[in-house]
Structure 1
Amino acid sequence: MLTQFASPGLVGAIVEGGLDPAEDPGWADSGASSPAEYARWAGHLCGMTCLRMALGTGAPSLFALRDGALKYDAYTEDADGVIKGLVYAPFARYVSEVHGLDAVVHRHLSPTGILDLLDEGRTVMASVHYGIRHPEVPPPGRGGHLVLLTSRTADGAGVHFHNPSGTTAATRAACVPLPVFERFFAGRGVSLPGSTATGP
């Protein structure tokens, strides 16, 4: 599965071990212009990683997608250079107009609403707390990170999702019961057409 950092084996060291992303030897594969640009932005690009997975084979690089999203103001920077986003409405316009995907913003989305969208064959970029990589630990909040939900679990009571900041194979392509997912879920997201590229 794709990660928002160029070297999947270093995700844990970066997000939990304090490794400077500029030290990632694969930074150029992201499409960034320099290690500094990569380090500044990679932690904000969970949404672009989800989009890359939804686009499938032949998707543009992570930073090419970021550049496109910037043109639509799906990311903004304040006077102090603080990065804001992902902003859903301009992101949906970008995805629809540039990549031809029917992106729908869901400002108020219930867990059962997610199941309905999955049953319709759509995928869902859902806002969750990044701690979902450790679902056994109660999260301190909800939202702030995006994962791509792809299907129900075989028993129908849980969800499969891809986590751009997953630290292991099992947390990058994860599944949890719906009540566990709900603890991390902020009740909003963006749905996209389903893709065989995303898998379970």
Structure 2
Amino acid sequence: MPLPATSASPDLVGPIVEGGADPATDPAWAESGASSRAEYARWAGHLCGVTCLRRALGPGAPSLFELRDGAIEYGAYTQDAEGVIRGLIYAPFAQYAREVHGLDATVHRHLSSREILGLLDGGRTVLASVHHGIRRPDLPPPRKGGHLVLLTARTADGTGVHFHSPSGITAGTRAAELPLPGLPCPRPAGRAAPPTGPLPAAPYRPPGQVVGKTPSAGRAGSSHTRRLSRAAV
């Protein structure tokens, strides 16, 4: 599955987020599921979280704006009287991911580097709040927060993470790796490192079917359960 981006045309992410191009000029806007160019443009800067969710769901996942609609229904996005969009709001978003998409989503107010690696080693993916400057991972971020990325695995040397950034301006910054502060951190004895490639693709289960369970019997299949966490890093 190609890595989802916040723009329907991935090659336009850079011109839009750094060059000031109008998102409404994206010729592929309808592929996002938006009802109009205007709606697509209005929401263009607010969908990094649902883009990460779409990546976590894998092939067959709903469109970007279908996921946005579900997030709105759960209160993960709000709009004030002037139409200003607020969000993503993490607690209702995690509830949406659990109840509609069968992900074992948990909100963490803060996770250390070691805790993040522990979650990744345990088979979880981490939806992390970072600064949008991560689209240039070679430069230090000026501050924290404001953008969401999906951490998928520990790097081969054990001291960093592979991540997917929906607003990466190139293919190499949409899927990249980054060291974590406070490391190196040795892996626990007897535990194998997780794969260091992209997040494994898994078929999307429609709403009402919990991932990792057989719908008819309700028996858990923990080896296939996909889990999503949120960290403030």
Is TM more than 0.5 here? Answer: yes
Q: Secondary structure at the match of 2:181?
A: helix
Question: Which has the larger helix fraction?
Answer: 1
Q: How much does 1:138 deviate?
A: 2.6
Q: How much does 1:111 deviate?
A: 1.7
Match of 2:93 in 1: 91
Q: How much does 1:105 deviate?
A: 0.6
* 2:12 counterpart of 1:7: no
Structure with larger Rg: 2
Q: 1:35-87: CA deviations, max 9, x gaps?
A: 00000102100000000010001100000000000000000011221111111
Q: How much does 1:117 deviate?
A: 0.5
Q: Secondary structure at the match of 1:123?
A: strand
Q: 1:111-139: CA deviations, max 9, x gaps?
A: 21111110110000000000011123232
The RMSD of aligned alpha carbons is 1.5
Match of 1:190 in 2: none
Q: Secondary structure at the match of 2:44?
A: helix
Q: In 2, distance between residues paired with 1:135 and 1:94?
A: 30
Q: In 1, distance between residues paired with 2:179 and 2:71?
A: 32
Structure 2 gap ranges (5+): 183-198, 203-233
Q: In 2, distance between residues paired with 1:7 and 1:65?
A: 18
Give runs of aligned pairs for residues 141-156 of structure 1, distance below 5 A.
141-156=143-158
Match of 1:167 in 2: 169
Match of 2:200 in 1: 196
Q: In 1, distance between residues paired with 2:123 and 2:86?
A: 30
Q: 1:12-56: CA deviations, max 9, x gaps?
A: 000011100001111000000000000010210000000001000
Equivalent residue letter for 1:41: W
Q: Secondary structure at the match of 1:69?
A: helix
Q: In 2, distance between residues paired with 1:112 and 1:122?
A: 14
Match of 1:133 in 2: 135
Identity %: 73
Contact 2:137–2:173 (Cα < 8 Å) also in 1:
no
Structure 1 gap ranges (5+): 181-194
Choose from 102, 107, 120 the match for 1:100. Answer: 102
